[in-house]
Amino acid sequence: MNRKMILLLAAFVMIVFAASCQQQEAPASPLSAALSELSGTVDAKQAADDAFAPAAPGTVLQANGQIQTGDDGRVRLDLSSGTIIRVTPSSIFTLTSNEEVEGGLATKIKLDLGKIFIILNGGSADVETPSGVASVRGSYMKVEVDPETMDIYVTCLEGNCSVSNPAGTVNFSNGERAILYHRDPVTGNWTAPNVEPMTPAEFQEWLDENPEAKELYEQAMATVTALAQPTEAPTATPSLVTATASADASSACFKIIEPAVGASLPKQGRVNFEWEAQPGAERYIITFVDQNGNRAVIETTSTSEERYIEILPAGGNFSWFVTSYGADGNEICSTESSTFTKPQGDPTQRPSAEPDTDPPACDPNDCSGACPDYYYCSDF
């Protein structure tokens, strides 16, 4: 073998060796979480540990590590991916893995018991529970395991959420919640998950547990209550006329698809509001106007928005239009106004910022019905 061949062979071996070292030195997306804001009893266990030990601020939980909180325990976890997870009392939580996927990182975690709040910073998160999987792509999701029934309650304050079990999958979004029912222990059958609006108490829970959710909470509650409250100086009608005029001035402006003009909508249930895509638009704002001039707005990046019509509790005649905005934040144009009618609904009350007071003490010998246990009285 001549000298030139030997040098080429040596160079090839060095290149292969260097590439091998680079692959070994660059593991894909390690996952860890730094603990902070600890209160009460919070224990941690790394994957290699045999038992839980008290956690301290600054503790870094590695992949497959676990957190266990007592009846008074709370902790914030800042994941290496930028996501925040808040673990509430009486919870058992496992940090599973991070994987590179198209569009970002897919974080996988496991919740055996208790309740967690996820504030996602890009990518997606899957939460494995005893009764199925809850997922979020976007921002804010809560997952709670009922310790008695093992049913799973998931609220989606903002973002694109979904839940799934062997009976099916449902998708839901801003201001909605879903329930994952545990498998029937007698028949072994699963019940498909269902979706419904978040309750005022659930909105309040987000506000109480997550300072980061304050702005979203106020936006959500403003949407829910805007048309239930009269305003002293309605300003929607002039705005609506201006928007319509700008739409008429441009033949290239997009148009509303559904509901049809003059549609009669139900008192309750989901309604899809859809429009054409506007070239160059990065986001859209839907404006609803009631017969008294009160307004409510919803912002989205898609060309449709499916909502429970209960967000408009007042009955009567409504108009609505959609305004498109470009990447620079400037308005492009607005659709022509469309109209619909709906019956009077049951207004959603804004939850009180003050915690509920304890109920008055009961006399166990009172058989009048004032106490919950009155049916144990001697009359029975």
**Mind listing the pLDDT tens digit for each residue in 19-39?**
554 444 444 446 788 999 999
pLDDT-derived band at 8, boundaries 50, 70, 90:
low
| Among the ranges given (28-37, 229-238, 276-285), the one the predictor scored with the smallest mean pLDDT | 229-238
The DSSP 8-state label assigned to residue 227 in this structure reads G
Average pLDDT over residues 130-140: 86
What pLDDT score was predicted for residue 295? 78
Q: Is the pLDDT of residue 373 over 50?
A: no
H helix count then E strand count, the chain: 4, 24
Highest mean pLDDT out of 85-89, 214-218, 228-232, 325-329: 85-89
Q: Is the pLDDT of residue 11 over 80?
A: no
Domain segments of the chain as ranges: 32-212, 229-342
CATH class, range 32-212: mainly beta
Q: Which CATH architecture has domain 229-342?
A: Sandwich (2.60)
Rounded alpha-carbon distances, angstroms, from residue 330 to 63, 278, 283 = 44, 13, 10
What pLDDT score was predicted for residue 247? 35
**Mind listing the pLDDT tens digit for each residue in 289-320?**
888 877 777 888 999 988 877 777 778 899 99
Average pLDDT over residues 155-163: 88
What pLDDT score was predicted for residue 224? 53
What pLDDT score was predicted for residue 346? 54
What pLDDT score was predicted for residue 37? 92
Q: What is the pTM of this model?
A: 0.54
**Mind listing the pLDDT tens digit for each residue in 182-191?**
988 888 889 9
Average pLDDT over residues 309-336: 87
Q: CB burial class (10 A; 0-12, 13-18, 19+) of residue 32?
A: middle
**Pairing of the two strands 84-87 and 124-129:** unpaired
What is the per-residue burial (b if ≥16 Cβ within 10 Å, else e) of 142-165? bbbbeeeebbbbbbbbbbbbbbbb
In the chain, pLDDT over 90 holds for what percent of residues?
33
Per DSSP, the residues of 96-151 read: EEEEEETTEEEEEEEEEEEEEEEE--SSEEEEEETTEEEEEEEEEEEEEE-TTT--
The DSSP 8-state label assigned to residue 303 in this structure reads S
Relative orientation angle of helices 214-225 and 200-209, to the nearest 10 degrees: 160
The DSSP 8-state label assigned to residue 182 in this structure reads P
**Taking all residues of the chain, what is their mean pLDDT, rounded to a whole number?**
77
